[in-house]
Amino acid sequence: MGQANPGNGTVYTETIVFAAPEQYVDDAPYQLAIIDLEEGGRLNARILPESGRVQIGDRVVFVELRNGVAFYARG
Amino acid sequence: MRPVAVIGVGKTAFGAFADRDLRSLAVEAIGHALADASLPPSMVEAFYLGNFAGPSFTGQNHLAPYVGLAAGLSPGIPCTRFEDACASSGAALFHAWQAVANGVYDLVLVGGVEKMTSQTTPKVAEILAGAGDMAGEGKAGATFPALFAMIARRHMHQFGTTREQLAAVAVKNHANGALNPLAHMRKNITLEQALAGKPVAEPLTVYDCSLVSDGAAAVVLAPLSRAHEFSGRFARILGIAQTSDHVALDAKTDITTFQAVRVAGEKAYRMSGLSAAEIDFAELHDCFTIAEVIASEDLGFARRGEGGPFAAAGCSAINGRIPINTSGGLKSKGHPVGATGAGQVCDIVMQLRGEAGQRQVRRHRVGLAQNLGGSGATCVVTILGAP
């Protein structure tokens, strides 16, 4: 892809997904969020389970990309 | 443009029908609609079929002639499928209306169909997720309930909307659907049941989510000047508009309102010369309880941010100020996605004609149908009036 990793941000909204699509059934339940990025724009991301649950307005930091999906943790 | 009438409507029951295929459902609804209009299939001049994901759900593509010829339509006419996610048959209706209004055809058939229940729940979730941005939100693990759960969370955060207010929408729509002989789930639920439902995507439980259903609906259009030639029980299309917005939820500036709904509403109101206060009743696209709350705000029935209290106070009940989803809505009537837009129009027309039985509303001169695609990337609003 050659693109830089996304930066840190704050949680614009979030949910915990219990009924997952076929490819993520084994991950459920997992937290999904839309992040307001510090550099501008928004991003769909997953919250690392070990980071604990985040809420709207929480600051989050980028951790890694897994198969193209951005994972964040509480900042 | 010339005025257009709905001269016939027809639906199948919505539900889980293991022994029925997509085509047989569509053919049944078309048969009901043509019989309702007293129109032989050979007189139909064009067929517009709404269907979201027939190829994914059933493996069958090329659906419009596949259904149309089986329903007895003439081989010489154009049969075309329209796909705009859950607004597929709303979009088919909009384009059919354009053709009749502009004099291209006189007698046009609109259908909508979906056959969903032959797949497992995770597979259905995956197919439906295709109505969103698969490279972004879909890849990150968003289902449609998850997208609307994130919308609900933000609405709760900004306006103080509560779980109880969302549950009140589900309780109301189940009470209405219990009175609808064609509804998928005809049972009353309590507020406590709705709140204690199995979580799907927090804060939404199964009771906040519409049903995965099989079903079909059909509508016959004609120029108003010819409406009296057929059954005589017609309704007028007073206003109609289709709009679009970004498919991805994270591309929208504010997810607590749907711009596509607001603009479609404004355009349809302008065409009809009516305001929200002059609408007697409505069918709103309650794919999730929060979607009905937001649509009631975006179309001007409730003030911005007050759709939750509006529902909880009973304003949208059958005997309320503006009855919403007297059919039971997608929540209880069922949501065979490609059939939903045409189905809403059938339900509006039945109310306008005074044929809604126990669900009949007192004032039934003007009704509004709002059909939403995806998380607000397509909207069709149709305002219908008694003759």
- In chain B, which residues touch A (CB < 8 A)? 120-123, 125-126, 129, 136-143, 145-146, 149-151, 153-154, 157, 198-204, 248-251, 255
Please tell me the number of Cα atoms within 13 Å of B216 on its side-chain side.
25
* B4-119+213-229: in CATH 3.40.47.10: yes
For residue A46, what is the nearest residue in chain B, using CA coordinates?
Answer: B140
For helices B63-70 and B22-37, what crossing angle results, to 10°?
50
Whether residue B379 lies in the annotated active site:
no
> What one-character DSSP code corresponds to residue B116?
-
- In this predicted structure, the answer to whether residue A3 has a pLDDT above a threshold of 80 is no
Question: Is A15 within 8 Å of B150 when comparing Cβ atoms?
Answer: yes
- CB within 8 Å of B187: residues ≥ 6 apart: B174, B178
Tens place of pLDDT for every residue, chain B, 387 residues? Answer: 999 999 999 999 999 999 999 999 999 999 999 999 999 999 999 999 999 999 999 999 999 999 999 999 999 999 999 999 999 999 999 999 999 999 999 999 999 999 999 999 889 988 999 999 999 999 999 999 999 999 999 999 999 999 999 999 999 999 999 999 999 999 999 999 999 999 999 999 999 999 999 999 999 999 999 999 998 899 999 999 999 999 999 999 999 999 999 999 999 999 999 999 999 999 999 999 999 999 999 999 999 999 999 999 999 999 999 999 999 999 999 999 999 999 999 999 999 999 999 999 999 999 999 999 999 999 999 999 999
* DSSP string covering B299-360: TTSS-TT-HHHHHHTTTTSTTSSS-B-TT-HHHHT-B-GGGHHHHHHHHHHHHHTT--GGG-
Q: How many CA atoms lie within 13 A of B164 on its CB side?
A: 6
Nearest residue on chain A to B155, judged by CA atoms?
A: A13
All domains in chain A, ordered by first residue: 9-74 (2.40.50)
Tokens for A4, please give them: 């830089």
Selecting among B335, B346, B364, B379, the annotated active-site residue is B335
Contact between B199 and A18 under an 8 Å Cβ cutoff? The reply is yes
Query: Which of A11, A17, A47, A71 has the highest number of chain B CBs within 10 A, making it the mutation to test binding with B?
Result: A17
Per CB-CB distance under 8 Å, the chain A contacts of B151 are 13
| B119, B126, B206: best to mutate for the A interface, most A CBs within 10 A | B126
Question: Structure tokens of B373?
Answer: 């695609």
State the ipTM, two decimals.
Answer: 0.97
**Nearest residue of B to residue A17, measured between CA atoms:** B201
- Pull the structure tokens for residue B246: 């970004």
Coil/strand/helix, residue B144: helix
Query: CA nearest B251: which of B259, B239, B243?
Result: B259
CB contact under 8 A, B201 and A12: no
Please write down the long-range contacts of B27-30, taking CB distance under 8 Å and 24 or more positions apart.
B27/B67, B27/B70, B27/B71, B28/B216, B29/B111, B29/B112, B29/B113, B29/B215, B29/B216, B29/B217, B29/B218, B29/B339, B30/B67, B30/B71, B30/B109, B30/B111, B30/B216, B30/B218
> At a CB cut-off of 8 Å and minimum separation 6, what does B356 contact?
B326, B347, B350, B364
Query: What residues contact B177, with CB distance under 8 A and at least 6 apart?
Result: B183, B184, B185, B186, B327, B328, B329, B331, B332, B333
Does the annotation count B32 as an active-site position? Answer: no
Non-local CB neighbours of B121 within 8 Å, separated by 6+ positions: A19, B212
Find out whether B175 and B194 touch, Cβ atoms under 8 Å. no
For chain B, give the number of residues: 387
Residue B162 φ/ψ region, left for φ over 0, alpha for ψ in the -120 to 50 degree band, beta for the rest: beta
Q: Is residue B349 a contact partner of residue B33, using CB atoms and an 8 Å limit?
A: no
Residue B367 burial class via C-beta count within 10 angstroms: exposed 0-12, middle 13-18, buried 19 and up = buried
Assessment of whether the complete model's pTM goes beyond 0.95: yes
- Position A1 confidence tier, pLDDT thresholds 50, 70, 90: very low
Q: What angle do CA B169, B373, B289 make, to 5 degrees?
A: 10
Q: Kindly name the residue from B86, B287, B315, B379 that is annotated as catalytic.
A: B86
| Contact status, residue B269 vs residue B383, Cβ threshold 8 Å | yes
Q: Is A21 in contact with B136 (Cβ distance < 8 A)?
A: no
Query: What is the structure's pLDDT at B12?
Result: 98
CB pairs A-B closer than 8 Å:
95
Tell which residue, B377, B48, B326, B19, has the closest CA to residue B176.
B326
